[in-house]
Amino acid sequence: MPTPLAQPLSSQGLETQADIHANLGTAQLVESAVRSGEGELSRYGSLVVKTGAHTGRSAKDKFIVRDDTTEDTVWWGKVNVDMSPEHFAALKEDFLAALDDKKELYVADLFGGSQPEHRVNVRVINELAWHNLFIRTMLVRPTVEELGDFAPEYTIIDLPSFRADPARHGTRSETVIAVNLSEKLILIGGTQYAGEMKKSVFGILNYLLPAKGVMPMHCSANVGADGKTAIFFGLSGTGKTTLSADASRTLIGDDEHGWSDTAVFNFEGGCYAKMIRLSEEAEPEIFATTRKFGTVLENVVMDPVSRDLDFDDNSLAENTRGAYPLEYIPNTSADNLGPVPKNVIMLTADAFGVLPPIARLTPEQAMYHFLSGYTAKVAGTEIGVTEPEATFSTCFGAPFMPRHPSVYGNLLKQRIAEGGAQCWLVNTGWTGGKYGVGNRMPIKATRALLNAALDGSLNNVEFRQDPNFGFDVPVAVPGVDDAILDPRSTWADKADYDQTAAKLVRLFIDNFAEFESHVDEAVRQAAPNASIPA
């Protein structure tokens, strides 16, 4: 049953003539979406929708209002672009006028964060029923009792039909994601990509939690049978969701978490997994969610007659996605949280074929690689990319980090020291040569090495020091081919390996230059070996 709003929109100064559909359940929202022509049901009961021109985040259309609150607390630059209070005021005026003009609106009161003392109350207002279903799936759903006295702290208004005016609103285009941290208001217009809402809440928590000493993280997390938590940092395509969805471990979440004094807690109540080329054999748990009522599938191609799904067809988008509740994955945490982590995994897909499949990091090396946030694009993924291309996204999530990266880096270092966590760098990329020459790291070997790291047995093997990066690399691990542990030995052309390794080292050093003045000498000494000739 729907639950009325404890505080009406009018109490927030939001006036509208629309019929308000408040806190609807999954079935009601699916019905509304289908009735309105927003989506169609697959033969399995999942809701299939299209997001139109925007099939991913519009990073260049996101702005943060620059005022007395944010002037000295936001890391301004290419990622966090400012908007003047005057432009936001004009944008807000036009948004509220558009809101007043709607016939129907869907409103959901939700939590960002599972640990009660660190969560934030978020009200989301949508013109599309499927958007409301999406965000209700992705955030933490309050109980009926909690909704009874729910007081919104932050409000998101998402109107895809709204078109921004660059001259009047100070935007780059007709698409806008405007964040006002002083007014606690986020306005999203001109895009149907639902992920903008999810990441806006992540941005709020990334801004608020460091001031409380809580580490916000773009990572997945799970717990072993021994009760020990592992967290997995990683950019898109590195295996963050796949490796954390391990049937032998309890899943906390696949994307966004906080690390407090007492727990690792999920910011969300759902998962948002890539669907392109999904197979039942490789990822059975995720595949099963596509056949459940309530799952939202974005830009997945469906046969109009049979309603069968084709996960290999990227004609609508390469970034096809599925949103589903956490409980659709077997063996998930009932409380959406777990103990503080004993293992910190940093995932990278090194398309240069230089990094070993696993390396043990000191706390200083962990901070260095966390601030670096390295992975690599491969040839063919984007127009103009003809060979591996390094990508550095600080903290493994630069687009969502409002504060300076050193804030998050120092928090991580502090948390590692206090909890005694062991840190690992895991390469899920290439071995035997760069992309186009070598092969993708065998998933079986990655899982075997991860299992050895997580159960502690990897600490008992012999290690060598990598001459390029200085971290410790195992020499031999039971059940794993010794050859892949030494990347250089897998290359037919050793001179080419040395040249490629030197190039990657230089890319790391050049990228880290902007952080050197914000870290201590021990972290600066954790840099790769710059003396190796390129």
In what helix (H) or strand (E) does residue 13 lie, and over which residues does it extend?
none
Say which of 10, 11, 173, 236 is annotated catalytic: 236
Say which of 51, 58, 137, 241 is annotated catalytic: 241
Query: Is residue 54 among the annotated active site residues?
Result: no
Query: Is residue 240 among the annotated active site residues?
Result: yes
Query: Is residue 494 among the annotated active site residues?
Result: no
The answer to whether 349 touches 375, Cβ cutoff 8 Å, is yes
The answer to whether 257 touches 267, Cβ cutoff 8 Å, is yes
Q: Residue by residue, what is the 3-state secondary structure of 452-479? A: HHHCCHHHHCCEEECCCCCCEEECCCCC
The answer to whether 385 touches 436, Cβ cutoff 8 Å, is no
Query: Is residue 11 among the annotated active site residues?
Result: no
In DSSP notation, 469-514 reads: T--EEES--TTS-GGGGSHHHH-S-HHHHHHHHHHHHHHHHHHHGG
Q: From CA 217, how far away is CA 242, in angstroms rounded?
A: 17
Say which of 199, 249, 360, 403 is annotated catalytic: 199
Say which of 62, 218, 228, 404 is annotated catalytic: 218
Per the DSSP assignment, residues forming a β-bridge with 510 are none
- 288 alpha carbon, distance to own chain's centre: 21
Q: Residue by residue, what is the 3-state secondary structure of 28-87? A: HHHHHHHHCCCEEECCCCCEEECCCCCCCCCHHHEEEECCCCCCCCCCECCCECEECHHH
Say which of 136, 198, 240, 434 is annotated catalytic: 240
Which amino acid would we find at residue 235? L
Say which of 61, 109, 255, 472 is annotated catalytic: 255
Query: Is residue 136 among the annotated active site residues?
Result: no
The answer to whether 307 touches 40, Cβ cutoff 8 Å, is yes
Which structure tokens are listed for 51? 């997001």
The answer to whether 348 touches 374, Cβ cutoff 8 Å, is yes
Query: Is residue 486 among the annotated active site residues?
Result: no
Say which of 87, 169, 321, 413 is annotated catalytic: 321
Determine the Cα angle at 326 with ends 320 and 329, to 5°.
85
Say which of 21, 32, 42, 57 is annotated catalytic: 57
Give the list of residues 6+ apart from residue 394 with CB closer than 8 angstroms, or none. Answer: 371, 372, 373, 401, 405, 515
**Which residues are marked as active site?**
57, 199, 218, 236, 240-241, 255, 321
